[in-house]
Structure 1
Amino acid sequence: MSLNLLNGNNEALELLDWFQLTDDMSSLSHFEVTKSRLTSPPHFKSSDFIQRDLDRLDLFLQNFDDFSILFNSRLRMLPDNGEFFSLIPDLFKGKFFEAKELNFFALLIEAYIQNYASFSDLVFEKDFQLKGDISQKMKRLFVNPLREFVDFSGNASYERHPVLKKLYAEVLSLEADLRITIQKASKNELYSSRMQMENYDIINDRYVLAIRSDSYNSELGPIVSRSQSGMTLFVEPFEVREKGNRRIFLLSEIEATILRLTIELSKVIHSFSEESKSISEWVLELDWLNTKATYSLKLGLTKPTLTDQFYFEINGLFHPLIKNPVRNNLFLDRSHKGLIISGPNTGGKTVALKSLCLSVLFVHLGLFVPASSAEICPVQDLFYFSHDHQNLSEGLSSFASEAKYYLELLQILGKKNLIVIDEIFNSTSSEEASALAIAFLEEVHNRSSSKIIISTHHQVLKTFMHARGDYVSAHVGFDFETNRPTYKLIIGEPGSSLAFKIFDNLSEKFGLKTQISAIAKTLLDEKHITYESLLQELSQKKIDLDKLLANNRNLQIELKNQKASMEGILFLEREKILNDYTKKIRSYFDQAETLLAEVKKGEVTNRRSLTNEIGTILSGLNKETPNKIVNFDVDQKYSHFRPISFDDVQMNMSVFSVNIKKNVKVVQLNPRRKEIQIQHGALSVWVTTDSLRWPSGVKPTTPNVRINVERTVKGDIEIDCRGMRLDEFQKSCELAIDEVFNGEIPFVTIIHGHGNGVLKNWLRNYLKKEYKELHFENIEGNDGCTKITFPT
């Protein structure tokens, strides 16, 4: 028996629950070929081959929703029977196929033509791409002729083939005539009095009547068959015999025609043997990928990183068959020869060892691993030994059988071996077991570059290996408050087996109060008790520290959630205030619109009343206008910089920015808004002179004399400009638009007349060029006026 898990060691695979896993996986497959591929033992694959498979699976998962739907809705329509795929080798042997077998090849070709482009994002598709127009040639020469007499289920369909259609039509006509003729004959006195049954029957393709044997004579017709008792004879009346012979002849002609057609199409498909093989491999590869992708998503598997260096670093490792598993971190670096795990029974040692072995096996399947992240060396030789090796058939005890396995292992070691041993030498005395184990590990390392991971309860072994330093020590935790294992793997120190503690807990559980543990402790060496107690104390402190760290992490997450919640509340409050403000402003605009409409209709005749209404609206708008607060605080260290006015600023000059606290360059001016675009390196912003100063060492220019001009606001919100000259129209419009821009009136409606006149064209071009901030629209169907306002 092979000991290598990657060379068919089914016994060890059973111990790893491997076949239960592959059964779960194969239930997701469609084709029997894929299922059998999974149930076969895994084999070693090179790193390049594994990486190719992992990349294909990763690409499939990135578009899983699309690819899986395509596969399940289209390619699952192909027959799943493995016998059909076994026909592929027969293509190269020149076998002549039946109609159902030819239909399988046709279904493959049709699936390829219809779906290949849909999977084009998969990089590996090019490995299965047929050259040129070969697929269309296969359809023209093979699929189309086959579909003339074979439907998609593989059954003969005669209606489309010219020869078969004619033959089949005659058969149908004959059968209808035969039914009428034999029914008439059954009512004839010659037959009716002698019939055993009323209805006719068809035996050996002959239309017959059931006649009592004691009333038969040759005038009734030839005997086709007899009942088992001999009391009934099945007789073919002479009236139907000739038609029956014709029908049988036509049926044989149909069979001969189909045989001839299948032979011809078999020769055609023989010429496309390589292409048919490639298409079948493409279909099976998609099923293989869909199976692995579905399983990976189902269990939350992760793409591993392959390494040529001989080490393993796995975070969040778990066993795929355990529900709600405890995840563990497992590290075995290049500088250490192995990992030794100790701790109490049922604490998770065996699960950790199995999970690692399964991860390596998954990698060789091109499958993701049960972990959060993983760096794995894909070893060629993987060995797993469980703690029960008793072999009654060979008359070997557990210890003798285990020793036999280890001696066989020494004979077959490769260059790089990963050896996993669950409870090494547990069937003999602890001192002898520890000594043998240490010597055995030394022999393995002398013969090969192996990594060894073992679990043990032997104190001498775990103490010796921890002290030597070339093995990483680890143990599984135990919570003394709950008296239950934590199933957490703790790297760095060996752990106590806690035999006395577990025994006392079980005694209490069964209601037995004994002194067994106390007496047992007196029988042990005091140093042994002290060492185990120290390990137990260290393990508990480690658990307490982990709990504290977990609580801190939870508290940090809770605080982050509270912060996010407060930010959400602030956002909602802001939105509420903004919505209320928008509603108020919209209300004032609606009032203004209503008032304007009433004025247009002549419903408002009192000028004083109109003025009061307008004043109320403007007053409300002014109340809702937010106060602009300008911060005039300037750092004391920049107080000696003198203010600069907008008129003193020129293009490309250098000024000092209080915000940036550096000299900046002026790149653009906006006289209407009194804004300046400054630049410092890649930074370019618009600012006002409030944040600018004269640069240090630059003498300010002599102030210009300013003349204040008092401006009178006209305040018209509707101007009728029909009949004006262009220059008069321009002045009226510029004044009104300026009042809207400065916020002195909420809007203005300019009536210029419809059509493509000069006034309207000038007005809209002027607005687009000079007042991009304003919004204008036509408010009448004939485009005779333009309403100008700020966008809401």
Structure 2
Amino acid sequence: MNHTFQTLEFNRILEKLESFSHTEAAQDQIRNLMPSNVESQVKKDLQNTTEARIILDRMGLPPAVGMKDLSNIITTTKQGGCLLAEELEETGVMLTGVKRLKDFLNRCKYLELSLPYYELELDPMMDLSDMIRESIRNGRVEDHASKLLKSVRQEIGRLEERLRTKAEAILRKNKNWFSDSYVTIRNERICLPVKKDYKSSVPGSVIGQSSTGSTLFIEPSAIAVMNEELERLRIEEENEVRRILYTLTAIVEENLPVLEKNKRYLDKLDFLFAKGRLSQEMEGVEPFMNTEQFIRIVDGRHPLMEPKSVVPLTIELGKKERGIVITGPNTGGKTVSIKTVGLFSLMAQCGLHVPCVEAELCMNRQVLCDIGDGQNITENLSTFSAHITNVMKILKEVGKESLVLLDELGSGTDPLEGMGIAIAILDELRLKGCLFLATTHYPEVKTYAKEREGITNARMAFDKETLKPLYRMEIGEAGESCALDIAMRLGMSEQMVERAKRYAYGEWESPDQLKFERDIKEGLKQPRKDKKLGKSQSAEHKNEIQTKYTVGDSICVYPDKKKGIVCKPVNDQGVLQVQLPDKKIWINHKRIQLLVPAAQLYPEGYDFSIIFDTVENRKARHKMDKGYQEGLEIKTE
């Protein structure tokens, strides 16, 4: 599943979801979010997201609840430690947030949703909250936390003022003894900056010295007694602060079960509202979930693309067809389309809304995909090898309740063999009974999808005039690569494009004939009457050519070595009709090499219309054999 998440960029969806959360627990839950295979759980999760979205749309954002270090606070309290003033203040902030959130949810009850009733599980513990707020502020125990603390701090303030006044008087009286005109604090004791030469002039204790040693910091004997009294008062202050912190910690410990319950529901609500905010940003809707392996998306938008630039995707899969083969030009949106379907499936089973007008999605046991070139240098895997390795893993894991996404099926190798492999893979998926979407450029695969029950073609629309993809999927129609049109618009000459078209569609001339024509144009040769291009040859030679091939012969078409079957024998112009895997073509007999004669392949009197005729024509002939059918016609090529 991790490979699927990475390929479909589902991790980016989770990153966006995480950005809307505030608590560490909710963020951890989002990072580890996995699609659920339990239908009831998925529907419940989706309903919660819907209710969160309704509240956000109607009531605005809920108040954010600060829970910076609550887990550490709970752990410290359980272990019998004393909470610091900052930790107690954080607890108070959380309780204040609980009160605000509870009030917010109460106001939401008129919406007649179930989510607002989570407020019944929240307890703001007003007594503890008020006590913390009155005792601690800005990470410090307040003076009025107790009468004794207030008294001690007042006395400390008065004594510090007397000390400073006494020390400054000494400074003013003997300015030449000192290196500075102000008192200083060293080791929490008030000192005077005495020049080294005047050390004996200022009786007292040396507390420290400057880096150069020219100044000594001396505590004068005249203020030593007051410094000792100040130190005693500070110890008394510290003891009272510690007593207050222990008292508050004990109260927190008594209420730990309530605090932990608050935390659980705050984490849960944070997660739910994060899902609601993601839905709001994407303009998502709740998809209807089914267990019938049916997918229907109306105007779906890839959730990671700019909404204004995305052409909506409408697709239906699972009722008539289990698989769709998507064709069309490069950069036409084929890959984005199948990624959109895969992402929607993952998001829905994680309880997330999907950005579209309407969606019905199915419960998938797994979403399996092979998208991208997959080349792995460290494992010495080519693009083709990597694709096949991934596909083989998929075929081992796939089941009836799987959704499979395959991009550029059969690419990266010889076109003829790649086409065969692509069809074999599709056939295997069809037999497995899973849902699948595949993109390809092979015309033979388009033909396969058209003829096989349970599979259909789709194409990505393309504007040949502007050479711009329209990013619109059209179900039931096979697309074209449009490579020749694109090449001409990008600068390829008309002659080159025509030549490419002849080579691509079997309308080229042989190298000998092209050389003969070129020699004639350059005046190097004169055409012989019996060999002149476009004229009938001698009767004997003509008869030999016309009897060389018969209907049903297996032949090879050069120069690209395509295999085909002769539909119509050679005519007066030396041209015969050949059935290729995806179409019929007329081609010069010189491009043909006989592989196996029809006599060795088919019994005498074999009905070749089974091979060459369309299904519609065969049905029409069958009806005509029974008598006249008004309005019925047989279309010939």
Q: Which runs of 5+ in 2 are unaligned?
A: 507-578, 586-637
- Corresponding residue for 1:249? 232
TM-score, scaled relative to structure 2? 0.72
Q: 1:370 to 1:212 in 2, by over 3 A?
A: same
- Corresponding residue for 1:100? 86
Q: 1:340 to 1:160 in 2, by over 3 A?
A: same
Shift of 1:277: 2.2
Instruction: Give the letter for the 1:210 counterpart.
Output: P
* Counterparts of residues 103-142 of structure 1 (less than 5 Å): 103-120=89-106, 121=109, 123-127=114-118, 129-130=120-121, 135=123, 138-140=125-127, 142=128
Q: Which runs of 5+ in 1 are unaligned?
A: 534-792
- Corresponding residue for 1:238? 221
- Corresponding residue for 1:54? 46
Secondary structure (helix, strand or coil) at the match of 2:135 reads coil
Secondary structure (helix, strand or coil) at the match of 2:372 reads coil
Q: 1:450 to 1:65 in 2, by over 3 A?
A: closer
Instruction: Give the letter for the 2:120 counterpart.
Output: Q
> 141, 144, 153: which one pairs with 1:159?
144
Instruction: Give the letter for the 1:269 counterpart.
Output: V
> 398, 420, 424: which one pairs with 1:439?
424
> 110, 131, 135: which one pairs with 1:145?
131
Cα deviation digits, residues 346-387 of structure 1 (max 9, x gap): 111111112112212322342210111001113231223213
Cα deviation digits, residues 21-67 of structure 1 (max 9, x gap): 44444444444554555455644363323322222222233232554
* 2:481 paired with 1:497: yes
Q: 1:22 to 1:232 in 2, by over 3 A?
A: farther
- Structure 2 CA distance, aligned partners of 1:451 and 1:517? 39
- Structure 2 CA distance, aligned partners of 1:271 and 1:45? 41
* Counterparts of residues 332-351 of structure 1 (less than 5 Å): 332-351=317-336
- Structure 2 CA distance, aligned partners of 1:281 and 1:403? 46
* 2:262 paired with 1:271: no
> 472, 478, 495: which one pairs with 1:488?
472
- Structure 2 CA distance, aligned partners of 1:252 and 1:344? 81
Assess if the C-alpha contact under 8 Å between 2:444 and 2:581 holds in 1. no
- Structure 2 CA distance, aligned partners of 1:455 and 1:282? 45
Q: 1:238 to 1:217 in 2, by over 3 A?
A: same
Secondary structure (helix, strand or coil) at the match of 2:140 reads coil
Q: 1:59 to 1:96 in 2, by over 3 A?
A: same
* 2:361 paired with 1:369: no
Shift of 1:332: 0.6
- Structure 1 CA distance, aligned partners of 2:66 and 2:98? 14
- Structure 1 CA distance, aligned partners of 2:346 and 2:584? 36
- Structure 1 CA distance, aligned partners of 2:276 and 2:153? 49
Shift of 1:401: 1.6
Q: 1:261 to 1:156 in 2, by over 3 A?
A: closer
Assess if the C-alpha contact under 8 Å between 2:105 and 2:117 holds in 1. no
Cα deviation digits, residues 66-104 of structure 1 (max 9, x gap): 5434x2xxx33x4364x4445445555555422211222
- Corresponding residue for 1:520? 500
Q: 1:218 to 1:380 in 2, by over 3 A?
A: farther
- Structure 1 CA distance, aligned partners of 2:584 and 2:318? 27
* 2:404 paired with 1:419: yes
Runs of 4+ in 1 over 6 A off after TM superposition: 527-530
* 2:259 paired with 1:259: no
Instruction: Give the letter for the 1:123 counterpart.
Output: S
- Structure 2 CA distance, aligned partners of 1:503 and 1:438? 28
- Corresponding residue for 1:765? none
Assess if the C-alpha contact under 8 Å between 1:67 and 1:119 holds in 2. no
Shift of 1:341: 0.9
Assess if the C-alpha contact under 8 Å between 1:496 and 1:532 holds in 2. no
Shift of 1:489: 0.4
Assess if the C-alpha contact under 8 Å between 2:283 and 2:355 holds in 1. yes
Shift of 1:248: 2.7
Assess if the C-alpha contact under 8 Å between 1:312 and 1:375 holds in 2. yes
Secondary structure (helix, strand or coil) at the match of 1:97 reads coil
* 2:291 paired with 1:308: yes
- Corresponding residue for 1:199? 182
Secondary structure (helix, strand or coil) at the match of 1:236 reads strand
* 2:62 paired with 1:79: no
* 2:352 paired with 1:360: no
Answer with 87-96 or 386-395: which moved more.
87-96
User: Over alpha carbons, which structure has the higher Rg?
Assistant: 1
- Corresponding residue for 2:593? none
- Structure 2 CA distance, aligned partners of 1:384 and 1:244? 77
Shift of 1:445: 5.3
- Structure 2 CA distance, aligned partners of 1:194 and 1:380? 88
Assess if the C-alpha contact under 8 Å between 1:422 and 1:456 holds in 2. yes
Instruction: Give the letter for the 1:164 counterpart.
Output: L
* Counterparts of residues 577-726 of structure 1 (less than 5 Å): none
Cα deviation digits, residues 697-721 of structure 1 (max 9, x gap): xxxxxxxxxxxxxxxxxxxxxxxxx
Shift of 1:329: 0.5
TM-score, scaled relative to structure 1? 0.59
- Corresponding residue for 2:381? 396
- Structure 2 CA distance, aligned partners of 1:237 and 1:443? 97
- Structure 2 CA distance, aligned partners of 1:481 and 1:416? 42
Assess if the C-alpha contact under 8 Å between 2:163 and 2:226 holds in 1. yes
- Corresponding residue for 2:169? 184
Q: Paired residues, what number?
A: 506
Answer with 91-100 or 388-397: which moved more.
91-100
Shift of 1:232: 2.3
Cα deviation digits, residues 460-502 of structure 1 (max 9, x gap): 2222122102123211011234332211100112211222222
* 2:198 paired with 1:211: no
- Structure 2 CA distance, aligned partners of 1:223 and 1:259? 32
Secondary structure (helix, strand or coil) at the match of 1:313 reads strand
Shift of 1:260: 2.9
Assess if the C-alpha contact under 8 Å between 2:36 and 2:42 holds in 1. no
* 2:273 paired with 1:294: no
Matched-pair identity in %? 24
Q: 1:297 to 1:161 in 2, by over 3 A?
A: same
- Corresponding residue for 2:515? none
Assess if the C-alpha contact under 8 Å between 2:121 and 2:265 holds in 1. no
Q: 1:347 to 1:168 in 2, by over 3 A?
A: same
Secondary structure (helix, strand or coil) at the match of 1:63 reads helix
Assess if the C-alpha contact under 8 Å between 1:476 and 1:486 holds in 2. yes
Shift of 1:116: 0.8
Assess if the C-alpha contact under 8 Å between 1:211 and 1:233 holds in 2. yes
- Structure 2 CA distance, aligned partners of 1:530 and 1:467? 11
Assess if the C-alpha contact under 8 Å between 2:21 and 2:27 holds in 1. yes
Answer with 481-490 or 34-43: which moved more.
34-43
Shift of 1:209: 1.7
Secondary structure (helix, strand or coil) at the match of 1:129 reads helix
